[in-house]
Amino acid sequence: MIGLSPEQRAILNGARGPYLAKCMRWLVDWGEAMGATRLIPVDNTHVLLPVPNLVARGASKETIEHYVRDLKEACSHRTNSRCICTVHTLFLTLDDLDVPENDPEQVRMQREITELATAAGFIPTFTCAPYLVGNVPLKGEVCAWTESSAVVYANSILGARTTRHGSESAIAASLLGLVPEFGVLLPENRKGTLRVEVSAALNHPTDWGALGYFAGKLAGLGIPVFNDVRRPSQDEAKQLCAALATSGGVTMCHIAGVTPEAPTLEAAFHGEVPGDFVSFTDATLRQTYRSLRDHTGDEIDAVILGCPHASIREIAEIACLLKNQRVADGVRLWVDTARGTKANADAMGYTKIIEEAGGRILCDTCPTNMRIAARRIVTHGFKQAHYARNMIGAEVIVAPTEACIRAALAGKWLGDE
Protein backbone atom coordinates (compact mmCIF):
# COMPACT_ATOMS: atom_id res chain seq x y z
CA MET A 1 0.00 0.00 0.00
CA ILE A 2 1.08 3.56 -0.67
CA GLY A 3 1.20 5.86 2.33
CA LEU A 4 0.02 9.36 1.45
CA SER A 5 0.70 12.63 3.26
CA PRO A 6 -2.38 14.61 4.39
CA GLU A 7 -1.83 17.00 1.48
CA GLN A 8 -1.57 14.15 -1.05
CA ARG A 9 -4.67 12.54 0.44
CA ALA A 10 -6.56 15.84 0.08
CA ILE A 11 -5.63 16.08 -3.61
CA LEU A 12 -6.84 12.51 -4.10
CA ASN A 13 -10.11 13.53 -2.49
CA GLY A 14 -10.58 16.47 -4.85
CA ALA A 15 -9.17 19.43 -2.91
CA ARG A 16 -7.48 20.75 -6.07
CA GLY A 17 -10.22 19.78 -8.50
CA PRO A 18 -11.34 16.65 -10.31
CA TYR A 19 -8.55 16.47 -12.88
CA LEU A 20 -5.73 16.55 -10.31
CA ALA A 21 -7.68 14.03 -8.22
CA LYS A 22 -7.71 11.75 -11.26
CA CYS A 23 -3.95 12.30 -11.77
CA MET A 24 -3.30 11.39 -8.13
CA ARG A 25 -5.48 8.28 -8.52
CA TRP A 26 -3.43 7.20 -11.56
CA LEU A 27 -0.14 7.61 -9.66
CA VAL A 28 -1.43 5.82 -6.56
CA ASP A 29 -2.99 2.87 -8.43
CA TRP A 30 0.01 2.55 -10.73
CA GLY A 31 2.42 2.74 -7.79
CA GLU A 32 0.50 0.09 -5.85
CA ALA A 33 0.44 -2.22 -8.88
CA MET A 34 4.22 -1.83 -9.20
CA GLY A 35 4.96 -2.26 -5.48
CA ALA A 36 5.65 1.37 -4.49
CA THR A 37 5.11 2.38 -0.86
CA ARG A 38 5.27 6.16 -1.32
CA LEU A 39 5.26 9.04 -3.78
CA ILE A 40 8.49 11.03 -4.11
CA PRO A 41 9.26 14.46 -5.62
CA VAL A 42 10.19 14.54 -9.31
CA ASP A 43 12.51 17.17 -10.81
CA ASN A 44 12.20 16.57 -14.50
CA THR A 45 9.55 15.24 -16.90
CA HIS A 46 9.32 14.49 -20.62
CA VAL A 47 5.71 14.15 -21.70
CA LEU A 48 3.71 12.85 -24.63
CA LEU A 49 1.08 15.33 -25.91
CA PRO A 50 0.39 14.35 -29.52
CA VAL A 51 -2.82 14.22 -31.51
CA PRO A 52 -2.86 10.71 -32.98
CA ASN A 53 -2.80 11.70 -36.69
CA LEU A 54 -2.38 8.52 -38.76
CA VAL A 55 -1.46 6.34 -35.75
CA ALA A 56 -5.23 6.08 -35.59
CA ARG A 57 -5.74 5.93 -39.37
CA GLY A 58 -9.42 5.30 -40.00
CA ALA A 59 -10.49 6.04 -36.42
CA SER A 60 -13.82 7.78 -35.95
CA LYS A 61 -14.05 11.55 -35.56
CA GLU A 62 -15.39 10.93 -32.03
CA THR A 63 -12.30 8.97 -31.05
CA ILE A 64 -9.96 11.76 -32.19
CA GLU A 65 -12.06 14.46 -30.55
CA HIS A 66 -12.27 12.52 -27.30
CA TYR A 67 -8.52 12.01 -27.28
CA VAL A 68 -7.81 15.68 -28.03
CA ARG A 69 -10.27 16.82 -25.36
CA ASP A 70 -8.34 14.80 -22.74
CA LEU A 71 -5.04 16.41 -23.81
CA LYS A 72 -6.55 19.88 -23.65
CA GLU A 73 -7.87 19.19 -20.17
CA ALA A 74 -4.37 18.13 -19.06
CA CYS A 75 -2.83 21.28 -20.58
CA SER A 76 -5.29 23.58 -18.84
CA HIS A 77 -3.41 22.96 -15.55
CA ARG A 78 -0.08 24.52 -14.58
CA THR A 79 3.00 22.32 -14.37
CA ASN A 80 4.62 21.99 -10.95
CA SER A 81 7.04 24.85 -10.34
CA ARG A 82 9.82 22.48 -9.24
CA CYS A 83 9.80 20.53 -12.53
CA ILE A 84 11.39 21.13 -15.89
CA CYS A 85 8.87 19.65 -18.35
CA THR A 86 9.81 19.00 -21.99
CA VAL A 87 7.65 17.48 -24.72
CA HIS A 88 8.12 14.30 -26.76
CA THR A 89 7.73 13.99 -30.55
CA LEU A 90 4.46 14.53 -32.35
CA PHE A 91 2.81 12.35 -34.97
CA LEU A 92 2.90 15.22 -37.46
CA THR A 93 5.02 18.30 -38.08
CA LEU A 94 3.90 21.83 -37.29
CA ASP A 95 5.95 23.06 -40.28
CA ASP A 96 4.36 23.35 -43.71
CA LEU A 97 4.83 19.96 -45.33
CA ASP A 98 3.15 19.11 -48.57
CA VAL A 99 2.40 15.42 -48.01
CA PRO A 100 -1.07 13.94 -47.50
CA GLU A 101 0.09 12.30 -44.26
CA ASN A 102 0.30 15.69 -42.49
CA ASP A 103 -3.44 15.97 -41.93
CA PRO A 104 -4.24 19.74 -41.81
CA GLU A 105 -7.16 19.31 -39.41
CA GLN A 106 -4.97 17.46 -36.91
CA VAL A 107 -2.15 20.00 -37.39
CA ARG A 108 -4.67 22.64 -36.36
CA MET A 109 -5.62 20.61 -33.25
CA GLN A 110 -1.95 20.12 -32.39
CA ARG A 111 -1.32 23.87 -32.64
CA GLU A 112 -4.19 24.48 -30.19
CA ILE A 113 -2.79 21.92 -27.77
CA THR A 114 0.69 23.44 -28.12
CA GLU A 115 -0.63 26.88 -27.24
CA LEU A 116 -2.26 25.51 -24.08
CA ALA A 117 0.76 23.35 -23.23
CA THR A 118 3.30 26.17 -23.42
CA ALA A 119 1.06 28.40 -21.32
CA ALA A 120 0.92 25.57 -18.77
CA GLY A 121 4.72 25.34 -18.65
CA PHE A 122 5.51 22.47 -21.05
CA ILE A 123 8.56 23.34 -23.19
CA PRO A 124 7.77 22.39 -26.83
CA THR A 125 10.98 20.50 -27.64
CA PHE A 126 9.01 17.89 -29.67
CA THR A 127 11.81 15.36 -29.63
CA CYS A 128 12.54 11.76 -28.74
CA ALA A 129 16.04 12.82 -27.61
CA PRO A 130 15.50 15.57 -25.01
CA TYR A 131 19.08 15.08 -23.79
CA LEU A 132 20.28 16.66 -27.07
CA VAL A 133 18.32 19.86 -26.60
CA GLY A 134 18.95 20.91 -23.04
CA ASN A 135 17.06 18.45 -20.87
CA VAL A 136 20.11 16.71 -19.40
CA PRO A 137 19.42 15.41 -15.89
CA LEU A 138 22.27 14.90 -13.45
CA LYS A 139 23.26 11.60 -11.85
CA GLY A 140 20.60 10.60 -9.32
CA GLU A 141 18.03 13.13 -10.54
CA VAL A 142 14.47 11.74 -10.34
CA CYS A 143 12.71 12.03 -13.70
CA ALA A 144 9.42 10.94 -15.27
CA TRP A 145 10.18 10.45 -18.93
CA THR A 146 8.21 9.04 -21.79
CA GLU A 147 10.11 7.68 -24.81
CA SER A 148 11.64 4.36 -23.94
CA SER A 149 14.92 5.06 -25.79
CA ALA A 150 15.41 8.29 -23.85
CA VAL A 151 14.57 6.49 -20.61
CA VAL A 152 17.37 3.99 -21.25
CA TYR A 153 19.75 6.86 -22.10
CA ALA A 154 18.83 8.86 -18.98
CA ASN A 155 19.25 5.89 -16.62
CA SER A 156 22.29 4.30 -18.23
CA ILE A 157 24.40 7.04 -19.76
CA LEU A 158 23.49 9.93 -17.45
CA GLY A 159 22.80 7.99 -14.23
CA ALA A 160 19.48 9.78 -13.77
CA ARG A 161 16.49 7.77 -12.47
CA THR A 162 13.29 7.23 -14.37
CA THR A 163 10.91 4.36 -14.87
CA ARG A 164 9.32 4.11 -18.29
CA HIS A 165 6.37 6.49 -18.36
CA GLY A 166 3.28 6.78 -20.51
CA SER A 167 1.33 9.88 -21.40
CA GLU A 168 -0.93 9.88 -18.34
CA SER A 169 1.72 9.20 -15.70
CA ALA A 170 4.11 11.81 -17.13
CA ILE A 171 1.31 14.39 -17.23
CA ALA A 172 0.33 13.53 -13.65
CA ALA A 173 3.98 13.78 -12.55
CA SER A 174 4.35 17.16 -14.27
CA LEU A 175 1.25 18.63 -12.66
CA LEU A 176 1.66 17.13 -9.18
CA GLY A 177 5.48 17.07 -8.99
CA LEU A 178 5.35 13.47 -7.73
CA VAL A 179 6.06 9.93 -8.92
CA PRO A 180 5.48 6.55 -7.28
CA GLU A 181 8.79 5.10 -6.11
CA PHE A 182 9.39 1.70 -7.75
CA GLY A 183 11.67 -0.07 -10.18
CA VAL A 184 14.91 1.69 -11.10
CA LEU A 185 14.12 4.63 -8.80
CA LEU A 186 15.41 2.30 -6.06
CA PRO A 187 19.16 1.55 -6.08
CA GLU A 188 18.70 -2.21 -5.53
CA ASN A 189 16.74 -2.48 -8.77
CA ARG A 190 19.58 -1.04 -10.86
CA LYS A 191 21.63 -4.21 -10.70
CA GLY A 192 22.65 -5.92 -13.95
CA THR A 193 20.81 -9.13 -14.92
CA LEU A 194 22.46 -10.19 -18.19
CA ARG A 195 26.20 -10.23 -18.94
CA VAL A 196 27.10 -9.50 -22.55
CA GLU A 197 30.74 -9.99 -23.57
CA VAL A 198 31.48 -7.91 -26.64
CA SER A 199 34.20 -9.06 -29.02
CA ALA A 200 32.76 -7.57 -32.23
CA ALA A 201 34.48 -4.51 -33.69
CA LEU A 202 31.98 -1.66 -33.34
CA ASN A 203 32.91 0.90 -36.00
CA HIS A 204 29.74 2.93 -36.59
CA PRO A 205 26.91 4.20 -34.37
CA THR A 206 24.64 1.71 -36.17
CA ASP A 207 26.90 -1.14 -34.99
CA TRP A 208 26.02 -0.05 -31.45
CA GLY A 209 22.38 -0.23 -32.51
CA ALA A 210 22.96 -3.83 -33.56
CA LEU A 211 24.46 -4.57 -30.14
CA GLY A 212 21.39 -3.09 -28.45
CA TYR A 213 18.94 -4.87 -30.74
CA PHE A 214 20.65 -8.20 -29.99
CA ALA A 215 20.87 -7.68 -26.23
CA GLY A 216 17.37 -6.19 -25.80
CA LYS A 217 15.78 -9.33 -27.17
CA LEU A 218 17.65 -11.49 -24.65
CA ALA A 219 17.31 -9.13 -21.67
CA GLY A 220 13.50 -8.78 -21.86
CA LEU A 221 12.58 -6.55 -18.91
CA GLY A 222 16.05 -6.97 -17.37
CA ILE A 223 19.27 -4.92 -17.27
CA PRO A 224 22.06 -5.92 -19.69
CA VAL A 225 25.69 -5.24 -18.81
CA PHE A 226 28.19 -4.82 -21.64
CA ASN A 227 31.73 -5.85 -20.93
CA ASP A 228 35.00 -5.40 -22.79
CA VAL A 229 33.79 -2.53 -24.92
CA ARG A 230 35.18 0.99 -25.38
CA ARG A 231 33.44 4.23 -24.40
CA PRO A 232 30.77 5.05 -27.03
CA SER A 233 30.28 8.52 -28.49
CA GLN A 234 27.02 10.31 -27.71
CA ASP A 235 25.59 9.19 -31.08
CA GLU A 236 26.69 5.60 -30.48
CA ALA A 237 25.15 5.59 -26.99
CA LYS A 238 21.93 6.95 -28.50
CA GLN A 239 21.74 4.06 -30.99
CA LEU A 240 22.54 1.49 -28.30
CA CYS A 241 19.82 2.75 -25.95
CA ALA A 242 17.17 3.08 -28.68
CA ALA A 243 17.72 -0.45 -29.96
CA LEU A 244 17.65 -1.92 -26.42
CA ALA A 245 14.22 -0.41 -25.88
CA THR A 246 13.00 -1.64 -29.28
CA SER A 247 13.69 -5.35 -29.15
CA GLY A 248 13.09 -5.62 -25.40
CA GLY A 249 11.40 -3.86 -22.49
CA VAL A 250 14.74 -2.67 -21.15
CA THR A 251 14.78 0.36 -18.81
CA MET A 252 18.53 0.64 -18.37
CA CYS A 253 21.89 -0.95 -19.12
CA HIS A 254 25.45 -0.64 -17.87
CA ILE A 255 28.71 -0.49 -19.79
CA ALA A 256 31.45 -1.79 -17.51
CA GLY A 257 34.16 0.80 -16.93
CA VAL A 258 32.17 3.48 -18.77
CA THR A 259 28.70 4.39 -17.47
CA PRO A 260 28.26 6.25 -14.15
CA GLU A 261 27.08 3.31 -12.04
CA ALA A 262 29.45 0.73 -13.51
CA PRO A 263 33.03 1.69 -12.75
CA THR A 264 33.72 -2.08 -12.89
CA LEU A 265 31.91 -5.23 -14.02
CA GLU A 266 31.48 -6.13 -10.34
CA ALA A 267 29.84 -2.78 -9.59
CA ALA A 268 27.39 -3.23 -12.51
CA PHE A 269 26.22 -6.51 -10.93
CA HIS A 270 26.36 -5.14 -7.34
CA GLY A 271 29.15 -7.59 -6.58
CA GLU A 272 27.51 -10.72 -7.96
CA VAL A 273 28.94 -11.20 -11.47
CA PRO A 274 27.19 -14.13 -13.15
CA GLY A 275 29.42 -16.81 -14.62
CA ASP A 276 27.05 -17.24 -17.55
CA PHE A 277 27.22 -14.73 -20.37
CA VAL A 278 26.23 -14.24 -23.99
CA SER A 279 28.77 -13.19 -26.61
CA PHE A 280 28.40 -10.50 -29.22
CA THR A 281 30.89 -11.44 -31.90
CA ASP A 282 31.55 -10.17 -35.41
CA ALA A 283 29.31 -13.00 -36.64
CA THR A 284 26.52 -11.91 -34.25
CA LEU A 285 26.90 -8.35 -35.51
CA ARG A 286 26.45 -9.41 -39.14
CA GLN A 287 23.53 -11.68 -38.22
CA THR A 288 21.80 -8.84 -36.34
CA TYR A 289 22.05 -6.55 -39.38
CA ARG A 290 20.62 -9.32 -41.56
CA SER A 291 17.61 -9.66 -39.24
CA LEU A 292 16.49 -6.15 -40.31
CA ARG A 293 17.28 -6.42 -44.00
CA ASP A 294 14.34 -8.04 -45.70
CA HIS A 295 14.58 -6.36 -49.12
CA THR A 296 13.57 -8.34 -52.18
CA GLY A 297 15.25 -5.87 -54.55
CA ASP A 298 17.72 -2.96 -54.52
CA GLU A 299 15.63 0.00 -55.76
CA ILE A 300 14.75 2.27 -52.80
CA ASP A 301 12.35 5.17 -52.32
CA ALA A 302 13.14 6.47 -48.83
CA VAL A 303 16.21 7.10 -46.69
CA ILE A 304 15.42 7.96 -43.08
CA LEU A 305 18.15 9.39 -40.84
CA GLY A 306 17.78 10.80 -37.36
CA CYS A 307 16.33 7.93 -35.34
CA PRO A 308 16.48 8.85 -32.52
CA HIS A 309 16.46 12.53 -33.52
CA ALA A 310 19.76 13.58 -35.09
CA SER A 311 22.39 15.42 -33.11
CA ILE A 312 24.10 18.45 -34.64
CA ARG A 313 27.18 16.27 -35.16
CA GLU A 314 25.18 13.74 -37.19
CA ILE A 315 23.64 16.51 -39.27
CA ALA A 316 27.14 17.91 -39.91
CA GLU A 317 28.27 14.47 -41.11
CA ILE A 318 25.22 14.09 -43.38
CA ALA A 319 25.78 17.58 -44.83
CA CYS A 320 29.43 16.76 -45.45
CA LEU A 321 28.48 13.57 -47.34
CA LEU A 322 25.82 15.39 -49.40
CA LYS A 323 27.80 18.51 -50.31
CA ASN A 324 27.63 19.14 -54.09
CA GLN A 325 25.78 15.86 -54.57
CA ARG A 326 22.21 15.17 -55.63
CA VAL A 327 19.76 12.67 -54.11
CA ALA A 328 18.39 10.35 -56.83
CA ASP A 329 15.01 11.19 -58.33
CA GLY A 330 12.16 9.39 -56.62
CA VAL A 331 14.04 9.02 -53.30
CA ARG A 332 12.93 10.91 -50.20
CA LEU A 333 15.85 11.68 -47.91
CA TRP A 334 14.61 12.76 -44.48
CA VAL A 335 16.78 13.88 -41.58
CA ASP A 336 14.64 13.96 -38.45
CA THR A 337 15.59 16.24 -35.60
CA ALA A 338 14.39 18.63 -32.91
CA ARG A 339 13.58 22.25 -33.71
CA GLY A 340 16.37 23.38 -31.40
CA THR A 341 18.95 21.32 -33.29
CA LYS A 342 17.62 22.49 -36.66
CA ALA A 343 18.13 26.11 -35.56
CA ASN A 344 21.82 25.30 -35.10
CA ALA A 345 21.92 23.40 -38.42
CA ASP A 346 20.39 26.47 -40.13
CA ALA A 347 23.03 28.72 -38.59
CA MET A 348 25.84 26.39 -39.64
CA GLY A 349 24.61 26.16 -43.26
CA TYR A 350 23.96 22.40 -42.96
CA THR A 351 20.24 22.73 -43.68
CA LYS A 352 20.99 24.57 -46.94
CA ILE A 353 23.45 21.89 -48.09
CA ILE A 354 20.98 19.08 -47.31
CA GLU A 355 18.11 20.89 -49.04
CA GLU A 356 20.24 21.76 -52.09
CA ALA A 357 21.06 18.07 -52.41
CA GLY A 358 17.32 17.33 -52.47
CA GLY A 359 16.98 16.17 -48.86
CA ARG A 360 14.84 17.58 -46.09
CA ILE A 361 15.17 18.19 -42.39
CA LEU A 362 11.95 17.11 -40.67
CA CYS A 363 11.17 18.59 -37.24
CA ASP A 364 8.82 17.50 -34.43
CA THR A 365 8.32 13.92 -35.63
CA CYS A 366 9.65 11.18 -37.93
CA PRO A 367 8.32 9.46 -41.06
CA THR A 368 7.30 6.33 -39.15
CA ASN A 369 5.36 8.37 -36.57
CA MET A 370 3.66 10.09 -39.51
CA ARG A 371 3.10 6.80 -41.38
CA ILE A 372 4.72 8.29 -44.51
CA ALA A 373 4.12 5.79 -47.31
CA ALA A 374 7.26 4.06 -48.62
CA ARG A 375 8.02 0.74 -50.31
CA ARG A 376 11.66 0.23 -49.43
CA ILE A 377 13.45 2.20 -46.71
CA VAL A 378 17.13 2.52 -45.87
CA THR A 379 17.82 3.82 -42.35
CA HIS A 380 20.68 4.00 -39.86
CA GLY A 381 18.38 3.35 -36.90
CA PHE A 382 17.51 -0.17 -35.76
CA LYS A 383 14.51 1.33 -34.01
CA GLN A 384 13.28 3.03 -37.18
CA ALA A 385 13.81 -0.14 -39.24
CA HIS A 386 11.96 -2.31 -36.71
CA TYR A 387 8.92 -0.06 -36.49
CA ALA A 388 8.82 1.07 -40.15
CA ARG A 389 8.51 -2.53 -41.20
CA ASN A 390 5.36 -3.00 -39.11
CA MET A 391 3.84 0.47 -39.18
CA ILE A 392 4.48 1.46 -42.79
CA GLY A 393 4.63 -2.08 -44.14
CA ALA A 394 7.81 -1.23 -46.02
CA GLU A 395 10.82 -3.42 -46.69
CA VAL A 396 13.75 -2.16 -44.65
CA ILE A 397 17.53 -2.10 -44.84
CA VAL A 398 19.42 -0.97 -41.75
CA ALA A 399 22.93 0.33 -42.44
CA PRO A 400 25.52 2.84 -41.22
CA THR A 401 24.99 6.49 -42.24
CA GLU A 402 27.54 6.51 -45.08
CA ALA A 403 25.96 3.50 -46.77
CA CYS A 404 22.52 5.13 -46.34
CA ILE A 405 23.73 8.29 -48.11
CA ARG A 406 25.31 6.27 -50.92
CA ALA A 407 21.97 4.54 -51.41
CA ALA A 408 20.17 7.91 -51.43
CA LEU A 409 22.48 9.26 -54.15
CA ALA A 410 22.27 6.12 -56.29
CA GLY A 411 18.56 5.46 -55.78
CA LYS A 412 19.39 1.92 -54.88
CA TRP A 413 21.02 -0.14 -52.18
CA LEU A 414 24.70 -0.61 -53.05
CA GLY A 415 25.77 -2.66 -50.04
CA ASP A 416 27.81 -1.63 -47.02
CA GLU A 417 31.13 -0.80 -48.64
The residues binding other proteins (CB under 8 A) are: 26, 29-30, 33-34, 48, 52, 55-60, 62-63, 66-67, 88, 145-148, 151, 163-170, 182-183, 220-221, 245-246, 248-249, 368, 386-387, 389-391
- The H or E element containing residue 362 is strand 360-363
Pick the closer one to other proteins by CB: 316 or 387. Answer: 387
Pick the closer one to other proteins by CB: 112 or 387. Answer: 387
Task: Give the type of residue at 354.
Answer: I
Pick the closer one to other proteins by CB: 9 or 57. Answer: 57
Task: Give the type of residue at 105.
Answer: E
Pick the closer one to other proteins by CB: 267 or 377. Answer: 377
Pick the closer one to other proteins by CB: 151 or 357. Answer: 151
Pick the closer one to other proteins by CB: 224 or 359. Answer: 224
Q: Are 229 and 203 in contact (CB under 8 A)?
A: no
Least gap, CB of 216 to other proteins (angstroms): 8
Least gap, CB of 248 to other proteins (angstroms): 6
Least gap, CB of 252 to other proteins (angstroms): 13
- The H or E element containing residue 215 is helix 205-219
Pick the closer one to other proteins by CB: 210 or 361. Answer: 210
Least gap, CB of 403 to other proteins (angstroms): 23
Q: Are 2 and 39 in contact (CB under 8 A)?
A: yes
How far apart are the two ends of the chain, measured CA to CA in Å?
A: 58
CA distances from 372 to 27, 98, 119 (A): 35, 12, 31
By C-alpha distance, which of 157, 144, 164 is closest to 79?
144
Q: Are 182 and 144 in contact (CB under 8 A)?
A: no
Question: Rounded to an integer, what distance in angstroms lies between the CA atom of residue 258 and that of residue 262?
Answer: 7
Pick the closer one to other proteins by CB: 127 or 163. Answer: 163
Least gap, CB of 123 to other proteins (angstroms): 18
Least gap, CB of 184 to other proteins (angstroms): 10
By C-alpha distance, which of 89, 112, 92, 114 is closest to 103?
92
Least gap, CB of 229 to other proteins (angstroms): 24
Question: Rounded to an integer, what distance in angstroms lies between the CA atom of residue 131 and that of residue 123?
Answer: 13
Q: Are 212 and 247 in contact (CB under 8 A)?
A: yes
Question: Rounded to an integer, what distance in angstroms lies between the CA atom of residue 222 and that of residue 238?
Answer: 19
With H, G, I as helix, E, B as strand and everything else as coil, classify residue 194.
strand
By C-alpha distance, which of 136, 158, 139, 140 is closest to 46?
136
Least gap, CB of 194 to other proteins (angstroms): 15
Question: Rounded to an integer, what distance in angstroms lies between the CA atom of residue 92 and that of residue 126?
Answer: 10
- The three-point CA angle 354-355-357 to 5° equals 65
Pick the closer one to other proteins by CB: 66 or 323. Answer: 66
Least gap, CB of 162 to other proteins (angstroms): 11
Pick the closer one to other proteins by CB: 186 or 347. Answer: 186
Least gap, CB of 213 to other proteins (angstroms): 12
CA distances from 354 to 336, 344, 350, 415 (A): 12, 14, 6, 22
